[in-house]
């Protein structure tokens, strides 16, 4: 085993089920959420979420409609109206930071509604997110164009003229090149043709190879089953189940029941 | 003498030129308002006062510091921009997230304050401000004589409009601004300092009003009330063009200047109300304005 892999699996062991920050030489978790509560106005949506993404891990957040997956990601980005608890990003506490400082810790966010800007061309949308002060190489623009050739071909079209699939590619591609090393991807496979879903799946695997940490909020279990190292299931604003990839077989029934499939 | 609809051609062309010049000023002023509104959802009522400040600063620079037109063309917009920056940073920012009506009230109050201060010190009589010697004469356009300065002012206003358009539509900074106009939350989630962007945009819009003021100083009497006379027309133009649209502000500014000029020739009694008649018409047909999008 190479030293990096050893270190990673060690830190994974350490954080499994424990909220103690890794000590010594171990890297801090990419994302460490503890007792997170979040609100939209008066409505209390998250009720004590606990979740960890270790460096290099791809984690999937599952749950039924309205379980609170989107809200969890939005709370990390500071997009809910209020939040309490603790959100550590690479060892730094995010709660209390100004909104635009979260990304600078190395976070890339792809919102559920994709957030493609109509008044920007595809190329402008792609280049919009500024480079972050992380020194993480991520992908080069050429590598991204190889993953998603359409984006290059349609560089000068207004962003919202792209097909739904192309818009989704654009929404993820633009956070691959900024130096973000923790990506929060909300429902990226939803409602897309199988070829596009496959292309996105390939891209997620590439992310893993490059050492990105990824948190996928997904309803599509089949899409995430092939990609994630670990799964969390949410219900009514709480994590109700955590499953390692290796346990998938044993816990399939429990999972199916929670997801209502 | 050649005539069109019984109107002598030189008269027609003359009003067309004057209309275009007024239109260029309308365009520059409504552009500043539109950019600010797009990003902040805020109607800057003090825009007319900023215009007046630009002209007054130009006049004061000459009067008290012997700084000529060219110096003030640079310094006055900077000073007004800086003032705008402070207004945003110290006052408007605190109102963010509240009903935009508070911002409107604040800038309205600010207008009264600024105009009142200038009236106290300089009265309302107004003073002439001479164009620089270089632009002093008249220019023979073949069909009419036009003061050289008018041609310069028109060209400079159009250049400022085009420069702003270029900045917003064709540069990276402009893409931040356009994106921020659409979805401020996401722009912040990407790590862009949105409050800074808002502050700079407000300062820029203010500076543009100040620049219009300096350019207008040699054309209209410089007085503390010059802004309030003009700004109502500019508001109507912004409403016609559509709040927040850059091209819309430029095109409707120019077009309404020309329409106003031609109305003077064809049916003078409504020349000062034609803009408002058009505004009422546009509002009934397209409430978001000719170039605006429904929010
Ligand atoms: N802007 C909002 N204001 C008030 N309540 C909201 C808002 N957005 C979401 N909610 C509520 O918060 C709860 C969690 O929503 P969330 O969007 O996080 O769910 P989700 O797990 O992403 O599900 P899905 O994406 O399938 O809708 C839901 O009950 C939803 O109705
Ligand atoms: Mg969701």
| Res A3: pLDDT | 42
- Could you report the per-residue pLDDT of B264-285, keeping only the tens digit for each? 888 888 888 999 999 999 999 9
**Contact indicator for B214, B160 with CB cutoff of 8 Å:** no
**Contact indicator for B230, B223 with CB cutoff of 8 Å:** no
**Contact indicator for A63, A235 with CB cutoff of 8 Å:** yes
Which of A117, A131, A158, A186 best probes binding to B when mutated, by most B CB atoms within 10 angstroms? A117
pLDDT tops 70 at residue B225? yes
Ligand 2 centroid distance, CA of B176 (Å): 26
| Res A92: pLDDT | 96
Going by C-alpha positions, the residue among A199, A179, A180, A181 that lies closest to residue A189 is: A199
**CB-nearest partner of A109 from B172, B189, B194:** B189
Q: Does residue A179 sit at the B interface (CB-CB below 8 Å)? A: no
pLDDT tops 90 at residue B243? no
- Do the chains contact at A119 and B179, CB–CB below 8 Å? yes
The alpha-carbon gap from B295 to the nearest alpha carbon of chain A, in Å, equals: 13
Which of A102, A115, A131, A167 best probes binding to B when mutated, by most B CB atoms within 10 angstroms? A115
pLDDT tops 80 at residue B74? yes
Where residue B1 falls among pLDDT bands split at 50, 70, 90? low
Residues in the 5 Å CB sphere of ion ligand 2 = A 70, 112
The alpha-carbon gap from A32 to the nearest alpha carbon of chain B, in Å, equals: 18
The sign of the dihedral angle between the CA atoms of B197, B200, B203, B208 is negative
Ligand 1 centroid distance, CA of A185 (Å): 16
Going by C-alpha positions, the residue among B163, B165, B164, B132 that lies closest to residue B149 is: B132
Q: Ligand 1, from A37, A62, A67, A232: best to mutate by most atoms within 8 Å of Cβ? A: A67
Q: Which residues does chain B have within 8 Å of residue A99's beta carbon, measured at their own beta carbons? A: 185, 188-189, 194
pTM of the model: 0.89
Reduced to 3 states (helix: H, G, I; strand: E, B; else coil), residue A234 is strand
Rounded to whole angstroms, the Cα distance separating B65 from A77 reads 51
- Could you report the per-residue pLDDT of B97-125, keeping only the tens digit for each? 889 899 999 999 999 999 999 999 998 88
Q: Which residues does chain A have within 8 Å of residue B175's beta carbon, measured at their own beta carbons? A: 120, 124, 127-128
**Contact indicator for B238, B112 with CB cutoff of 8 Å:** no
| Res A2: pLDDT | 44
Ligand 1 centroid distance, CA of A161 (Å): 27
Q: Which residues does chain B have within 8 Å of residue A128's beta carbon, measured at their own beta carbons? A: 175-176, 179, 187, 190
pLDDT, chain B, mean: 91
| Res B20: pLDDT | 93
- Do the chains contact at A103 and B189, CB–CB below 8 Å? yes
pLDDT tops 50 at residue B175? yes
Q: What are phi and psi of A260, to 5 degrees?
A: 70, 35
**Contact indicator for A240, A50 with CB cutoff of 8 Å:** no
Rounded to whole angstroms, the Cα distance separating B34 from B32 reads 5
What is the fold, at CATH topology level, of the domain defined by A3-259?
Rossmann fold (3.40.50)
| Res A115: pLDDT | 96
Ligand 2 centroid distance, CA of A244 (Å): 22
Q: What is the ipTM of this complex?
A: 0.87
- Ligand 1, residues at Cβ distance < 6 Å: A 40, 43, 45, 63, 65-71, 112, 187, 219
Ligand 2 centroid distance, CA of A116 (Å): 17
Buried b (16+ CB within 10 A) or exposed e, B35-47: bbbbbbbbbbbbb
Where residue B71 falls among pLDDT bands split at 50, 70, 90? very high
Which DSSP string do the residues of A50-69 spell out, in sequence order? EEEE-TT-EEEEEESTTSSH
| Res B96: pLDDT | 86
| Res A184: pLDDT | 98
Rounded to whole angstroms, the Cα distance separating B272 from B261 reads 10
Where residue B229 falls among pLDDT bands split at 50, 70, 90? confident
Angle of helix B100-122 relative to helix B47-65, nearest 10 degrees, comes to: 30
CA gyration radius, chain B: 19
Q: Is A207 exposed, middle or buried (0-12, 13-18, 19+ CB in 10 A)?
A: buried
Rounded to whole angstroms, the Cα distance separating B44 from B32 reads 9
**Contact indicator for B26, B253 with CB cutoff of 8 Å:** yes
The separation between the first and the last C-alpha atoms of chain B, rounded to the nearest angstrom, is: 52
| Res B216: pLDDT | 96
Q: Ligand 1, from A66, A75, A237: best to mutate by most atoms within 8 Å of Cβ? A: A66
- Could you report the per-residue pLDDT of B131-161, keeping only the tens digit for each? 888 898 888 877 788 899 999 999 999 999 9
**CB-nearest partner of A115 from B183, B191, B194:** B183
Name the least confident of A86-100, A148-162, B166-180, B232-246: B232-246
Distances, alpha carbon B121 to alpha carbons B49, B52, B60, in Å: 15, 14, 12
| Res A19: pLDDT | 42
Where residue B127 falls among pLDDT bands split at 50, 70, 90? confident
Domain ranges for chain A, please list them.
Answer: 3-259
Buried b (16+ CB within 10 A) or exposed e, A215-238: bbbbbbbebbeebbbbbbbbbebb
Architecture of domain B3-285: Orthogonal Bundle (1.10)
- Hey, whose CA ends up nearest to atom 17 of ligand 1? A70
- Hey, whose CA ends up nearest to atom 3 of ligand 1? A40
**Nearest atom (ligand 1) to Cα of A71:** 18
**Nearest atom (ligand 1) to Cα of A72:** 18
Maximum C-alpha span of chain A:
51
**Contact indicator for B36, B266 with CB cutoff of 8 Å:** no
Reduced to 3 states (helix: H, G, I; strand: E, B; else coil), residue A25 is coil
**Contact indicator for A232, A52 with CB cutoff of 8 Å:** no
- Hey, whose CA ends up nearest to atom 2 of ligand 1? A40
Rounded to whole angstroms, the Cα distance separating A241 from A64 reads 13
**% of residues, chain B, pLDDT over 70:** 99
- Type and span of the H or E element at B251: helix B246-266
Ligand 1 centroid distance, CA of A68 (Å): 6
**Which chain B residue lies closest to A114 (C-alpha atoms)?**
B186
Q: Is A179 left (phi over 0), alpha (psi -120 to 50) or beta?
A: left
Q: What is the pLDDT along chain A (261 residues), one digit of tens a residue?
A: 344 443 444 343 344 334 444 455 578 999 999 999 999 999 999 999 999 999 999 999 999 999 999 999 999 999 999 999 999 999 999 999 999 999 999 999 999 999 999 999 999 999 999 999 998 999 999 999 999 999 999 999 999 999 999 999 999 999 999 999 999 999 999 999 999 999 999 999 999 999 999 999 998 888 898 899 999 999 999 999 999 998 888 888 888 888 887
Reduced to 3 states (helix: H, G, I; strand: E, B; else coil), residue B174 is helix
**CB-nearest partner of A79 from B176, B181, B185:** B185
The alpha-carbon gap from A238 to the nearest alpha carbon of chain B, in Å, equals: 24
């Amino acid at each position: 085993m190479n030293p990096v892999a050893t270190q990673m699996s060690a830190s994974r062991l350490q954080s499994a089920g424990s909220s103690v920050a890794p000590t010594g030489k171990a890297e801090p978790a990419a994302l460490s959420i503890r007792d997170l509560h979040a609100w939209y106005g008066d409505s209390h949506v998250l009720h004590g979420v606990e979740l960890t993404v270790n460096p290099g891990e791809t984690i999937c957040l599952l749950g039924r409609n309205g379980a609170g997956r989107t809200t969890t990601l939005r709370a990390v980005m500071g997009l809910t109206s209020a939040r309490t608890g603790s959100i550590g990003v690479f060892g730094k506490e995010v709660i209390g930071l100004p909104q635009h400082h979260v990304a600078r810790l190395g976070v890339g966010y792809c919102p559920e509604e994709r957030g493609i800007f109509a008044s920007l061309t595809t190329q402008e949308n792609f280049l919009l997110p500024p480079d972050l002060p992380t020194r993480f190489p991520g992908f080069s623009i050429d590598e991204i164009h190889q993953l998603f050739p359409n984006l290059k071909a349609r560089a000068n079209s207004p962003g919202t003229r792209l097909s739904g699939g192309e818009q989704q590619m654009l929404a993820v591609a633009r956070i691959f090149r900024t130096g973000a090393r923790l990506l929060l991807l909300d429902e990226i496979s939803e409602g897309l043709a199988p070829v596009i879903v496959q292309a996105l799946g390939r891209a997620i695997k590439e992310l893993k190879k490059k050492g990105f940490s990824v948190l996928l909020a997904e309803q599509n279990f089949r899409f995430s089953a092939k990609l994630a190292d670990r799964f969390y299931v949410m219900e009514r604003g709480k994590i109700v189940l955590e499953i390692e990839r290796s346990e998938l077989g044993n816990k399939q029934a429990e999972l199916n029941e929670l997801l209502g499939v | 003498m050649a005539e069109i609809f019984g109107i002598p051609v030189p008269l027609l062309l003359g009003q067309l030129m004057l209309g275009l010049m007024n239109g260029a000023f309308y365009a520059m002023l409504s552009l500043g308002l539109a950019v600010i509104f797009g990003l902040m959802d805020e109607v800057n009522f003090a825009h007319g006062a900023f215009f007046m400040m630009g002209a007054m600063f130009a006049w004061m620079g000459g009067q008290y510091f012997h700084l000529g037109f060219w110096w003030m063309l640079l310094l006055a917009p900077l000073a007004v921009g800086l003032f705008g920056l402070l207004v945003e940073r110290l006052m408007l920012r605190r109102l963010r997230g509240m009903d935009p009506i508070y911002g409107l009230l604040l800038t309205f109050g600010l207008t009264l304050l600024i105009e009142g201060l200038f009236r106290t010190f300089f009265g309302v009589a107004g003073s002439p401000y001479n164009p620089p010697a270089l632009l002093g004469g008249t220019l023979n356009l073949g069909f009419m004589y036009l003061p050289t300065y008018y041609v310069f002012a028109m060209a400079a206003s159009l250049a400022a409009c085009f420069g702003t358009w270029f900045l917003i539509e064709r540069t990276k900074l402009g893409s931040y601004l356009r994106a921020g106009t659409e979805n401020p939350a996401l722009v912040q989630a990407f790590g862009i300092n949105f409050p800074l962007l808002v502050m700079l945009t407000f300062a820029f819009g203010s500076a543009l009003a100040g620049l219009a003021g300096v350019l207008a100083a040699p054309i209209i009497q410089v007085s503390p009330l010059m802004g309030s006379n003009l700004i109502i027309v500019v508001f109507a133009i912004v409403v016609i063009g559509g709040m927040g649209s850059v091209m819309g502000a430029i095109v409707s500014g120019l077009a309404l200047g020309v329409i106003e000029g031609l109305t003077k020739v064809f049916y003078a009694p409504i020349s000062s109300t034609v803009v408002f008649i058009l505004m009422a018409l546009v509002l009934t047909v397209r409430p978001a304005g000719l170039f605006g999008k429904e929010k």
